[in-house]
Amino acid sequence: MKPAPRDFIESYIGGSDYWANNIRKEYKATNPDHIEFCNRFKTLLQELMIYVKEYHTTGVTWNNKNGIDVNDYNPNNNDNPVTTTTASASTTATVAPVIKATTTAAAAPVAAKVDLFAALNREDKVTAGLKKVTKDMQTWRAEYKADDTTIPSSTQSKLIPKSSSNNNEVVMKYPPKCEFQNSTNKWQVEYQTSSCGIVSIEIKDKKETVYILGCIGANININGKCKSIIVDNCKKTNVTFNSIMASCEIVNCQRMNIICTETVSAVAIDKTDGIVVTLPKTSLTTEIVASKSSEMNVSWPDENGDMVERPIPEQYVHRISGLSITANVSDLYH
């Protein structure tokens, strides 16, 4: 897992808290077993982080169990352990000659280091034999010329579009797709652009879900009442829907416009930069949960029917109070 197994587990603790809080709210006074389950599940993830950090580290680790200290190693001693006790005899026979071959030539790297330091002590004569690289020989200059529409192939992501030479039309690496999967009751909407026109989806069963992936500059209309909507890795896309039973989740997106025309229970915004969520009068009780996001705004109608837009706070002031920490919205949003 990247960046590390522990960080991967930690990223899911916030999401589990979001759903656990709904359970706590509903069963706080009626069923304490549900509350205990939520608490133990969070403890499970926290303890799993500690376990993974200790036993599933990244990179090279020392063989402390069956190995020896580096200061005690003797290249002339054949009794040095080279494999673990659980290794097979065939593996031991294969590894031993390799270790022996490298140790017999241990004097060669030492001599090479001496020659290297002697060469570095020649000061300005070190670079005497190097060839001068002129500007026309530097390949990076050709990749980053004034034409900013050219993107180096080494840095191109599979979702980053190219601009056409004739106009500003977005060209996707993968073909657009909009299909319903009967096996999972899910609409799969992928890689739509503005050139695809308005993508309309007709929901026939409230158990259906919609998954929107990799769209850029698209306009997607979802008619009917569905179970949930997930918008992943999209950019400059407008998503309009009628009603959602569970939640609308926006993840890893940029410059999004989410419009609800009837009702939605919750909106979850995660790792998104630039989003406007528009709610009608019938959905002013919607819960909005945001994490690792910026430039978030919510728009809704006031008593006169005029639309009001307010930013979702990104900055909080934390203070220590006894054995707990308080969190208050910054004065910038008052």
Query: What CATH number was assigned to the domain covering residues 170-333?
Result: 2.160.20.70
Contact 253, 233 (CB under 8 A): yes
Averaged pLDDT, groups of 10, the chain, 334 residues long = 76 81 87 90 88 78 70 72 46 45 52 65 64 68 52 46 54 88 92 92 94 95 95 95 95 96 95 95 94 93 91 91 90 76
Contact 9, 45 (CB under 8 A): yes
Nearest residue to 197 via CA among 219, 180, 228: 219
Identify residue 137 by its one-letter amino acid code. Answer: M
Q: What pLDDT was estimated at residue 204? A: 92
Q: What pLDDT was estimated at residue 83? A: 44
Nearest residue to 229 via CA among 219, 217, 239: 239
Q: What pLDDT was estimated at residue 259? A: 96
Helix axes 32-55, 13-27, angle to 10 degrees: 170
Q: What pLDDT was estimated at residue 109? A: 60
Say if strands 177-181 and 294-301 run parallel, antiparallel, or are unpaired: unpaired
Say if strands 238-251 and 228-232 run parallel, antiparallel, or are unpaired: parallel
Q: Which residues have CB under 8 Å from 57's CB, separation 6+?
A: none
